[in-house]
């Protein structure tokens, strides 16, 4: 049987091939990964019920940890999921886990599930991996993105939430990689630009930032919110409004955001170049400001 090579984008976002730390946190204790066990009756395993957060630790500090935990709690309330009691200890657990794994630059994955299907026993899993940045050449030359035929709908309860039912997104990423693209952009059935499989999307037109509103629906990305702060602080014109395919194709610049890729320029939408085919000045400005903010907030134990 011939094995198909797993695309880098799929491997990165699914966690395949990434070396985990010597320890992870499961239920209520630190355990080596090879001894970690999730019960066969866990609702996350059986039904894809549960939530996760992917976070970035820089200088041993998780950037915007409180915002990640707030988003998780908001999603749990919206989806009627009970969270584990020890979630309140997540900041201390993550700090100790990073120390145990001797990691200051890390990708942190926090997962919660409802636990046993027949009784309420929510499960908390936290794992860290060495931070694997996207290649420098992507920031220098820009990503190529695919417009996927898959569609986003408000009738899907998982939209706007980071649920464990994530495989449809990963399949779109695989499709993009097979067509020599790095990300797949999603539209709604009504033809409104939504988001990427693993990112939020920003357009630049006449030096103004444009992005889809949260009620599209899209994920309220932590980096997305940070970019909105940066734009407001710099007096950059910004509109959160409905965007169509023509807005995307006519944009002067396009960039994507998530906590691992940070601010990523898009220079090609399939075969069509964006602008002059190079990362634009607004994208570069926002990217620099974002990196400076991460450096500042993570320099001495994070924001007070």
Give φ, ψ of 15 to 5 degrees: 85, 5
256: three-class secondary structure by DSSP = strand
Model pLDDT for residues 124-173, shown as the tens digit of each residue: 999 999 999 999 999 999 999 999 999 999 999 999 999 999 999 999 99
Domains of the chain: 19-130 (3.30.470.10), 136-298 (3.20.10.10)
Please state, in angstroms and rounded to a whole number, the distance separating the CA atoms of residues 166 and 139.
26
Please state, in angstroms and rounded to a whole number, the distance separating the CA atoms of residues 114 and 47.
10
Residue 21: predicted pLDDT: 72
> Around Cβ 150, how many Cβ atoms within 10 Å?
14
Residue 12: predicted pLDDT: 61
Model pLDDT for residues 177-187, shown as the tens digit of each residue: 999 999 999 99
Residues of the chain with pLDDT under 70: 1-20, 118-119, 300-304
Query: Is the bond leading into 217 cis (omega within 30 degrees of zero)?
Result: yes
What's the predicted TM-score (pTM) here? 0.93
Please state, in angstroms and rounded to a whole number, the distance separating the CA atoms of residues 52 and 72.
7
Handedness of CA 76, 131, 28, 86 (dihedral sign): negative
């Amino acid at each position: 049987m011939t094995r198909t090579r797993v695309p880098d984008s799929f491997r990165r976002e699914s966690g395949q091939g990434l070396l985990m730390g010597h320890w992870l946190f499961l239920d209520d204790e630190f355990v080596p990964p090879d001894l970690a066990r999730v019960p066969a009756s866990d609702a996350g395993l059986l039904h894809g019920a549960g939530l996760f957060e992917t976070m970035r630790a820089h200088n041993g500090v998780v950037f915007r940890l409180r915002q990640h935990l707030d988003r998780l709690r908001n999603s749990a309330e919206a989806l009627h999921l009970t969270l584990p009691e020890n979630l309140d200890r997540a900041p201390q657990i993550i700090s100790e886990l990073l120390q145990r794994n001797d990691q200051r630059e890390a990708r942190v994955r926090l997962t919660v599930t409802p636990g046993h299907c027949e009784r309420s026993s929510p499960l908390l899993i936290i794992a860290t991996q060495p931070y694997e940045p996207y290649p420098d050449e992507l920031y220098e030359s820009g990503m190529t993105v695919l417009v996927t035929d898959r569609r986003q709908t408000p009738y899907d309860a998982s939209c706007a939430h980071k649920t464990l039912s994530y495989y449809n997104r990963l399949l779109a990423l695989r499709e993009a990689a097979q067509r020599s693209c790095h990300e797949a952009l999603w539209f709604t059935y009504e033809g409104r630009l939504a988001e990427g499989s693993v990112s939020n999307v920003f357009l630049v037109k006449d030096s103004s930032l444009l992005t889809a509103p949260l009620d599209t629906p899209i994920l309220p990305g932590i980096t997305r919110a940070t970019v909105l702060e940066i734009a407001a602080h710099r007096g950059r014109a910004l509109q959160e409004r409905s965007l169509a395919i023509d807005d995307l194709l006519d944009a002067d610049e396009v960039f994507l955001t998530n906590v691992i890729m940070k601010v990523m320029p898009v220079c090609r939408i399939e075969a069509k170049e964006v602008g002059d085919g190079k990362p634009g000045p607004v994208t570069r400005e926002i990217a620099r400001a974002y990196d400076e903010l991460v450096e500042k907030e993570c320099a001495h134990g994070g924001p007070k």
